[in-house]
Amino acid sequence: MKPNPTRSALILIDMENGFVDRRGGHCIKGAQATVPACAHACDLARSKGIPVFFVKRIYRADGSDVELTRYAAWKAGGHACRPASAGPNSAQAPEALRPQPGDYTIIKPRWSAFFQTELDLILRRLDVRTVILAGTTTPNCVRTTCYDAIALEYNTVVLTDCCSSQTEEIQRVNLEDMERAGALLMDSAAFAAYGPETVPDLSAAIREEMLASDAFPEPFAAQGDAVGWTDLW
């Protein structure tokens, strides 16, 4: 491990052959073109001491863990991303996007990288305050991870040229929605200048404001010798 002055982590989602390769059963049209930018972002992160997390979806061969809404497409696509699979319809990553010593791998059971995984636990152990999201697809796995990250009080960055969708319009509107929800958008070129002051720590700022305030979090009123909840609603 290296010092991580930005207290950030790069989360690369579902960049597997089954989603990226044009012959893959779940191919996302824009994914292949993002591989160079994603690889560059991973290299930049490592150089800055930012841990890289490769988040993958692997489907059991019998389909018992495939999402309900994806099951038909999974069958039609040749049962993509099975354990120990290889080739264009596999869970293998493109060669440029394979983990290196010091990286982390997370296997997720659904869209979000946080849902029923150890990701949040490891990020907190590493004292990470900001997550930087990349991968595919923007409207599904990137977006649900973004919203879960915000709900879990992480500052959230999305690398716009490192994530992908089936169409440019889907990509645009989903990026705009994540920005409206509070995510910071930047591309991999801007990420080159990323440093400790790039992303404000919103949770820390709010906590400081709370500590400076004399406001009580909930309305209480004296009831004889006890202090109890006052129902104002």
- In this predicted model, what pLDDT tens digit does every residue of 83-110 receive, in sequence order? 999 999 999 999 999 999 999 999 999 9
Question: Is the pLDDT confidence value at 186 over 60?
Answer: yes
Q: In degrees, to the nearest 5, what angle opens at C-alpha 173 toward C-alphas 170 and 178?
A: 120
Tokens of 230: 């006052």
The model carries a pTM of 0.92
Q: Give the H/E segment covering residue 107.
A: strand 104-107
Single-letter amino acid code for the residue at 71: Y
- Per-residue pLDDT tens over the stretch 22-77: 999 999 999 999 999 999 999 999 999 999 999 999 999 999 999 999 999 999 99
Handedness of CA 109, 163, 179, 122 (dihedral sign): positive
**What pLDDT does 219 receive?**
64
- Which pLDDT score, from 0 to 100, does residue 102 have? 95
Backbone conformation region of residue 81, classed left if phi is above 0, alpha if psi is from -120 to 50, else beta:
left
Q: What is the DSSP letter of 34?
A: G
Please give the share of the chain, as a percent, with pLDDT higher than 90.
Answer: 90
